[in-house]
Amino acid sequence: MLNALSRKGYHGVGLTELLAEAGTPKGVLYHHFPGGKTELAIAAIETVVSHMTGGLQKLLKRHADPADALQAWMVSAQKLLVGSGFEQGCPLASIALESTPDDAAIRAALAYGFSSIRAHLAEAWQNAGIAPARSANLAGLMVSAYEGALLQARVAGQVQAM
C-alpha cells in the first residue's frame, strides 16, 4: 500500500490497487477503516511517520552530528529511489503535493507527521548544543532539504540533484 501511495499519490492510486497491494478484500477494508480510502491513507501516513522517526532515531544514535545523520538519511533515500527506478519517493510528499483544502483530515495527519519528524531533528540539534529556536529552524531546513532533494531527483531521474 505504501509503495502505491509513494509512486502515485493519494488521488493517483485507486482503492482496488491499494487493496490488491495489501492482499486484502474490500470487506475487510470497510470493517477496519469505515472512513474508506481517507482513513486508510491517514493510517498509511502514521505508519510512514513511525518508520521515518524510528529510522531517524537510529541514525541520530549512530551519528553524533545531526548533519552526518542527515547525510546518511539522504544516502538511504537515494538507494530507495534508484531501486524503484525513480518512481518511489516519499509517500508523505506524494500525498501532500496533491492534497487540497478539502482533504482536511489528510492534511492534519501530514502536518502532524512533518511536525514529529522536525521535533526529532530539533531535539538532536539541541543535544548537540544548539539553542532551541535555532534547532527548530535547522530541523525545518533539514526536512525541507530532504523532501526537496527527493522531489528533484525523482523528476530528473538521477540522484545528482540530491
Instruction: Tell me which residue of 118, 126, 162, 120 sits closest to 142, measured CA to CA.
Output: 118
The pTM of the full predicted model, rounded to 2 decimals, is 0.85
b/e string for 120-150 if b means 16 or more Cβ within 10 A?
A: bbbbbbbeeebeeeebbebbbebbeebbebb
> How far apart are the C-alpha atoms of 97 and 72, rounded to whole Å?
25
| Ordered domains of the chain (ranges, CATH) | 45-161 (1.10.357.10)
Would you give per-residue pLDDT tens digits along the chain (162 residues)? 677 777 777 777 887 887 787 777 877 777 888 887 888 889 889 999 999 999 999 999 999 899 999 899 999 999 999 999 998 888 899 899 888 899 999 999 999 999 999 999 999 999 999 999 999 999 999 999 999 999 999 999 999 867
According to the model, what pLDDT value does residue 1 have?
63
> How far apart are the C-alpha atoms of 157 and 24, rounded to whole Å?
32
